[in-house]
Structure 1
Amino acid sequence: MLPSGSDTEGDHTPLLHRSTEDKVPRAPACGSSRYGLALLSSFGFFVVYSLRVNLSVAMVDMLNSTRHSGGNHSSSVCPAHAAPARPKHVNAASVYDWDSKTQGWILGSFFYGYILTQVPGGYLAGRYGPKWLLGFGILGTVVFTLLTPVAADLGPSYLIAVRVLEGIGEGVTFPSMYVMWAAWAPPLERSRLLTISYIGAQLGTVVSLPVAGEILFYLDWTYVFYVFGVLGLVWFVLWVFLAFDSPNIHPRISEQERLYINSSLKNELATSAGRIPWRAILTSGPLWAIVVAHFSYNWTFYTLLTLLPTYMNDVLGFSIQQNGLLSALPYLGCAVMAVLSGQLADYLRETCLCRTVTVRKAFSIVGMIGPAVFLVAAGFTGCNYVMTVTLLTISSALGGVSASGFNINHLDIAPSYAGILLGITNTFATIPGMVGPVIARVLTSQNTIEEWQTVFFIAAAINLFGAVFYALFGRGAVQPWAVHASFSHGD
């Protein structure tokens, strides 16, 4: 068997097509446990991102009415768009007199907690199992979300502390899920299963933004946190009873599916879970290529995730009710493209026998350079809100292509340590969420279109750099340090 030191060996022969003895019958997808897990985890990430972005919309209504006329919209750069009068609230929630710098710190504070549990999350999930770590991580986020209105009343420092604690809980989710998929996802179905799983993040954004807008319109901002908090509790109950760490302990999985998954992964997973090659991991060039790409992509993603409702309100002049729907359109495009790209990526690898590294790099380039171009263009549309929303939607939609690029590459180069690798890359990729909103709000203190153009230019330049770096140094084969019996699926 060839050693796996090269990225080209075996790249033309996918794992399930190597030889007669390696072939296993593919278990049907319909009604399968692995696709059931994909849907359940997708619901989980729906909850995660609903809890993450609801503050971005609620913030528009949490500010003092002297800054935001009537709570509907601020004195925006562009002419305000007509909106129906909001119902008068019997018990209106409190409003606060936070300046733009304070807003930036509040919006970015989540990521200060989020960054702390990335690597520990991957390590603990690998050592003790991902199910309960992920479950309790999201449950903790749900609890602190329900406490958000109380914290806001106590003051911005308390709200920042609660958001940090929410971030600590959510920090374990992605590393834990990667550990789960390392045991559940056959190599030639990775793109499909992971994009189904993580599309929940996009759908959470797509649904929560307009729903939060409607909640603000008819009720008040406190209900945004209560409604999505309760939804998180529902997910936790389902997760406890329906999720399992591996196919071998799932009580309802078919024998055919269990054998199919285990056979397809038998040559990829390390034989010793206790030994972690930290030195080899931290000096791995392919890993650092993912780090740079992940950091760069997230700068644009988090900038829009936290500040797009503010941009819609302060610059384009949309009311709260209109704001949520229009802010969601970019993420709807991203969700659609993520699913389509996952199908296409696996088709290219399995049917067309394209090399993994080629597919990952091509999808990463499209998913990073495309968004950069359209993001910059959106900054030059002035008050043409139709063109602005269209360009931002195209930008985010193209970003969804990267879901089958560098985002899955952790499982390609080291499936046994995918949770730890994701923890490392996500640690660096969280930095944009910490500093991006703060820098953006400092640069846009006057909320002029020119100031926002600067924010978009910075995000696009970082995205472009990450795409080029990954194209040069990314790899698609299992790395030699990731397995004891060296083997590369190279699919």
Structure 2
Amino acid sequence: MSQVGDSVEEKAHNEKMDDSRKTSSIVCFNLTRYLILILTLTCLTLLQMNSLTFNFTVICMSDIVDDSHALNPNATHWFEDSNMKSLVFSSMAIGGLLGLLVAMPLMHRVGVRKVLSICGVFSIIGTVLFPLAAEWNFASVLVVRFLQGLGISMVFTVLGSVPIAWAPNNESSTFLAVLSCAFQMSNVICMPISGFLCESSLGWRSIYYLFGVITTICFLIFYFFYTDSPKDHRNVSNHELSLILQDKTTTHKESVPYLAICKDPCVLVTWLSNVGGNLGFLTLVLYGPTYLREVLHFEVRGTGFASALPFLLSAAVKSIAGQLSDRCNFVSERVRFTICGIISRLGLAIGYIGMATTSSTLVAQIAFTFSIAVSGLNIMGTVKCLQLRCKQHVHFAVSAIALMAYVIQFGAPILVGIICPDNTPEQWGWLFMIIGVIVFATSAPFPWFTTAEPAEYTLSREQQEEMKKQRELEECC
């Protein structure tokens, strides 16, 4: 947000800074920012894919039980215990939660490039070693799932931070929409491939090895190509840099006003909305294949494709919404993100209630698909709101959403284990009804208490002091 009437000296300083930059002769047709966007999306997608593998392979890993019984006929394998399987689901959330607490302040100091690369290493190790751990013992399975959780700990924070650094203001919504497609694309790619490999002669173990190798290659490219600022990238021309920085405030690293953000009503309402939204979305992500397989009785390969279709639709809807949000200048930013938030949450609640109240397999599948398809708009609503409200401190506000998501991801398997111990349609109906009501209740305040105006804590200290003095003068008058 530049001030009207910037000084000639400041413009001259910026021109001098541009001239002093060392740039490569290869400037990618002034489109380097899009290569950064695609590369970051690929890495985030792979991290999510690695974390999702167990969600699908849980329906085709029975051979480890047979092998165990061949050695110890009277022993109960951990895979046969629903509580232990729930703990395997939850252990990834614990990794994500603890990783976020460490990585968030670390990213503020050393940047996205180094922290996300470290997350990639953890994810690769956890994925490649999972087949061996599954054959070894239960403790080792928890460890590798914990490492996969460390891998996804910064996904939310990165998708909120990268558009601020790399996207021009008139492309920020598109960047946000594309990056957040990692949640959908990971399912679109992971589920069909997993379904195919599970039924092939290669078996479910090949899924982990394949994803591990691809993740290694992509993160090597990311580490050597990505930079935290476009100013530091040799393939960003001065022309492209001016496009990215146009109408942006030059910010410097400063302490995060944690208390002020946590007391901001707009932020609090947005966080509350994400509690219900994440509960609804993550339950379908974690247990979508199980629901399709055990309740709707899909075949393994059919489960893979049926699980992927809603996420493909969600990515398409989100991409269109991002384009519209950047181009619909005839309505305010607040109207744009509010519409996305309402459609996302209301659609998710309606889908859940539809699944809860029908006995038709076709209607349940339609409701399942609809719920996931519209839930993708959540990012265009809540995260966009936080970007506008918190500005340079958005990494903390978005990290708090991730923190709540990992707590929900830890608790959701426990909730499912309590309500749906036998995987009967009636039990799942009760679960879906409860979640649908929670989604609606937590999202109701969002349209009324949010704003697109930057908060006072996003201003410089001098500007905050001036505003304080101005308020004191107005009170005196």
TM class by smaller structure: 0.7 to 0.9
Can you give the 5+ residue segments of structure 1 that lack an aligned partner in the other structure? 1-14, 68-94
Deviations 1:331-372 (A, max 9, x none): 111111111111122222xx21x2222222221011111111
RMSD: 2.5
Structure 2 match to 1:363: 340
Length-normalised TM-score, structure 1: 0.83
Query: Which whole-Å CA distance do the structure 2 matches of 1:363 and 1:43 have between them?
Result: 24
Displacement of 1:448: 1.1
Deviations 1:358-416 (A, max 9, x none): 2222210111111110222123332x433322221111111122221002222211221
What is the letter of the counterpart of residue 374 of structure 1? G
Aligned partner (choices 241, 248, 254) of residue 258 of structure 1: 241
1:339 aligns with 2:316: no
Displacement of 1:254: 1.7
> Relative to structure 1, is the Cα distance of residues 21 and 452 closer, same or farther in structure 2, using a 3 angstrom cutoff?
same
> Relative to structure 1, is the Cα distance of residues 174 and 35 closer, same or farther in structure 2, using a 3 angstrom cutoff?
same
Aligned partner (choices 302, 310, 313) of residue 290 of structure 2: 310
Structure 2 match to 1:381: 358
Query: Which whole-Å CA distance do the structure 1 matches of 2:419 and 2:436 have between them?
Result: 16
Deviations 1:409-464 (A, max 9, x none): 22211221121221122111222111112211221112111100111112211211
Aligned partner (choices 155, 179, 188) of residue 206 of structure 1: 188
Contact 2:98 2:150 in 1 (8 A): yes
Query: Which whole-Å CA distance do the structure 2 matches of 1:64 and 1:97 have between them?
Result: 10
* SS class of match (2:255): coil
Structure 2 match to 1:129: 111
Q: How many residues align?
A: 435
Aligned partner (choices 102, 114, 132) of residue 96 of structure 2: 114
Report the more deviating stretch, 229-238 or 255-264.
Answer: 255-264
Aligned partner (choices 396, 406, 413) of residue 430 of structure 1: 406
1:237 aligns with 2:237: no
Structure 1 match to 2:35: 36
> Relative to structure 1, is the Cα distance of residues 280 and 65 closer, same or farther in structure 2, using a 3 angstrom cutoff?
closer
Displacement of 1:133: 0.7
Contact 2:178 2:319 in 1 (8 A): yes
Deviations 1:169-207 (A, max 9, x none): 321233244333322222332110111122132111111
* Percent identity for Structure 1 against Structure 2: 22
Contact 2:388 2:454 in 1 (8 A): yes
Displacement of 1:329: 1.3
Displacement of 1:96: 5.8
> Relative to structure 1, is the Cα distance of residues 125 and 157 closer, same or farther in structure 2, using a 3 angstrom cutoff?
same
Query: Which whole-Å CA distance do the structure 1 matches of 2:135 and 2:151 have between them?
Result: 22
Query: Which whole-Å CA distance do the structure 1 matches of 2:444 and 2:430 have between them?
Result: 22
Structure 1 match to 2:445: 469
Structure 1 match to 2:434: 458
Query: Which whole-Å CA distance do the structure 2 matches of 1:125 and 1:141 have between them?
Result: 18
Can you give the 5+ residue segments of structure 2 that lack an aligned partner in the other structure? 15-26, 67-76, 465-477
* SS class of match (2:80): coil
* SS class of match (2:271): helix
Query: Which whole-Å CA distance do the structure 1 matches of 2:285 and 2:170 have between them?
Result: 31
Query: Which whole-Å CA distance do the structure 1 matches of 2:53 and 2:312 have between them?
Result: 16
Displacement of 1:116: 1.7
* SS class of match (1:478): coil
Q: How does 1:267-416 map to 2 (within 5 A)?
A: 270=251, 272-348=252-328, 351-352=329-330, 354-382=331-359, 384-416=360-392
* SS class of match (2:122): helix
1:144 aligns with 2:120: no
Report the more deviating stretch, 278-287 or 214-223.
Answer: 278-287
Query: Which whole-Å CA distance do the structure 1 matches of 2:385 and 2:102 have between them?
Result: 20
* SS class of match (2:58): helix
Length-normalised TM-score, structure 2: 0.85
- Of structures 1 and 2, the one scoring higher in RCO (CA 8 A, sep 6+) is 1
Query: Which whole-Å CA distance do the structure 2 matches of 1:388 and 1:238 have between them?
Result: 42
